[in-house]
Amino acid sequence: MNAAAPDAKPLLELKHVKKWFAYRSGILFKKTGYIRAVDGLSFTVNKGETLGIVGESGSGKSTAGQLILQLQEPTEGEIWFEQRKLTGMSPKQLRAVRSELQLIFQDPYTSLNPRMTVKDIIAEPLSVHRAAEGRQLHRRVAELLHEVGLGEHHLNRYPHEFSGGQRQRIGIARALALRPKLIVCDEAVSALDVSIQAQILNLLKKLQKEYGLTFIFIAHGMGSVKFMSDRIAVMYLGKIVELARRDELFARPKHPYTQALLSAIPVSHPREKKERIVLQGELPSPANPPGGCGFHTRCPIAKDICRREAPVFRQYSDSHGASCHFPLQ
Ligand code: ADP
Ligand code: MG
């Protein structure tokens, strides 16, 4: 008897995706090079799960999110969504898919038009996609506001009349309007106070359950990523250096960079002791990444081979992989 569920296909799949930005420099702007913002990403995301993407500022997280949302075209590689290859689709085909993919940004203040009322902000995607009109539109907007914990009395107000947390709720309502399947949350709570962060994260979890949403949750610190994610991908210089189920990553990180990020989370109890690993130096420029292992210039355990050879990404179990010549035990 075969009790195992048939292998479900992933909702999203990235295959060796790269995004290199060309730049010019030198006296006559003739010298060209590439900023390797995203440098060979491969991963899958299953329906209903949250994949966290974590890494320092400049590691390529937002670019990865933009590529997934088809807001940027990859230099190389393929992106598949529900067995459909998004890369290479015509603009018309893409338009149909786009409503299924939505973005929640860090700063809703810059993304919400200050001259539009809340009602118009949330109604806009519905009108553009001709998803509702008239009374039905009004009802849907009110319903969305209610879903995110706001009320009808907020309908005719403007973004500046709201607090940061409330504005993020408006941004979430707008992202939900077209009933998307996948939402990329790019530093969605990073600008908010910790107590407000918790409220928004709980709201996102509630909505995920209700709507069966799939999230890609991007942040530069482990705190909110830990709370939200089923699996976590750690990015460094445009590459994933470790990807594992959340609890496994926290209990047994394989990559010294992951270990350093974990050590930076504040302790929750005063008697809890933890040694903070402070990485030396800055993130190297993605325009001129180090040879060998990209992390070797800051790695506390780097050896000769790390300077010479790039480590391959190895699977240690079905749910845990990393790229390091000297993985932690
Ligand atoms: P993160 O979100 O992790 O902070 P980003 O994806 O924003 O990282 O950026 C990754 C790298 O790519 C950075 O070095 C950034 O300066 C560069 N970059 C991002 N967008 C562009 C662009 N449009 N043109 C040139 N360089 C870019
Ligand atoms: Mg970013």
Full residue range of the structural domain in which residue 298 is found:
10-100+180-322
Cα 282 to Cα 299: distance, rounded to the nearest angstrom: 12
**Cross-strand pairs, 214:** 182
Decide: 59 in ligand 1 pocket, CB within 6 A. Answer: yes
Write out the two tokens for 135. 């009374």
Decide: 58 in ligand 1 pocket, CB within 6 A. Answer: yes
| Residue 109, in any domain of the structure | no
| Residue 118, in any domain of the structure | no
Sign of CA dihedral 73, 16, 239, 319: positive
| Residue 199, in any domain of the structure | yes
Cα 326 to Cα 329: distance, rounded to the nearest angstrom: 9
Q: In what order do the strands lie in the sheet with 76-81?
A: 31-45, 12-25, 76-81, 84-85
pLDDT at 25: 78
Cα 214 to Cα 229: distance, rounded to the nearest angstrom: 11
Q: Give the single-character DSSP code of 212.
A: T
Decide: 65 in ligand 1 pocket, CB within 6 A. Answer: no
Overall size of the chain counted in residues: 329
Q: Whose CA is nearest to atom 20 of ligand 1?
A: 63
**Cross-strand pairs, 185:** 104, 217
CA 4–ligand 1 middle distance (angstroms): 42
pLDDT at 106: 82
192: domain CATH number is 3.40.50.300
Number of C-beta neighbours around residue 64 at 10 A: 29
| Residue 186, in any domain of the structure | yes
Ligand number nearest CA of 236 is 1
Please, are residues 232 and 225 in contact by the beta-carbon 8 Å criterion?
A: yes
CA 153–ligand 2 middle distance (angstroms): 34
| Residue 150, in any domain of the structure | no
Q: Whose CA is nearest to atom 23 of ligand 1?
A: 21
How deeply is 92 buried, as exposed, middle or buried, from its count of CB atoms within 10 A (0-12, 13-18, 19+)? Answer: exposed
Q: What is the pTM of this model?
A: 0.94
Please, are residues 158 and 78 in contact by the beta-carbon 8 Å criterion?
A: no
CA 61–ligand 2 middle distance (angstroms): 6
How many domains does the chain divide into? 1
pLDDT at 96: 85
Please, are residues 112 and 170 in contact by the beta-carbon 8 Å criterion?
A: yes
CA 111–ligand 2 middle distance (angstroms): 15
Q: Mapping DSSP to helix (H, G, I), strand (E, B) and coil, where does residue 63 land?
A: helix
Please, are residues 217 and 224 in contact by the beta-carbon 8 Å criterion?
A: yes
Task: Name the stretches of the chain with pLDDT < 70.
Answer: 1-7, 31, 108-109, 267-274
Choose the residue to mutate in 17, 20, 21 for probing ligand 1, maximizing ligand atoms within 8 Å of C-beta: 21
| Residue 62, in any domain of the structure | yes
% residues pLDDT > 70 (the chain)? 95
- Which residues does 257 contact at the CB level (< 8 Å), separation at least 6? 234, 236, 241, 242, 279, 295, 299
H or E segment and range at residue 165: helix 164-176
pLDDT at 123: 96
Decide: 34 in ligand 1 pocket, CB within 6 A. Answer: no
Cα 243 to Cα 149: distance, rounded to the nearest angstrom: 34
Write out the two tokens for 233. 């991908």
H or E segment and range at residue 201: helix 194-211
Decide: 61 in ligand 1 pocket, CB within 6 A. Answer: yes
| Residue 140, in any domain of the structure | no
What is the position in ligand 1's atom list of the atom closest to the CA of 19?
12
Backbone phi, psi, residue 16, to 5°: 50, 50
Backbone phi, psi, residue 164, to 5°: -55, -45
H or E segment and range at residue 18: strand 12-25
What is the position in ligand 1's atom list of the atom closest to the CA of 286?
14
| Residue 222, in any domain of the structure | yes
CA 58–ligand 2 middle distance (angstroms): 7
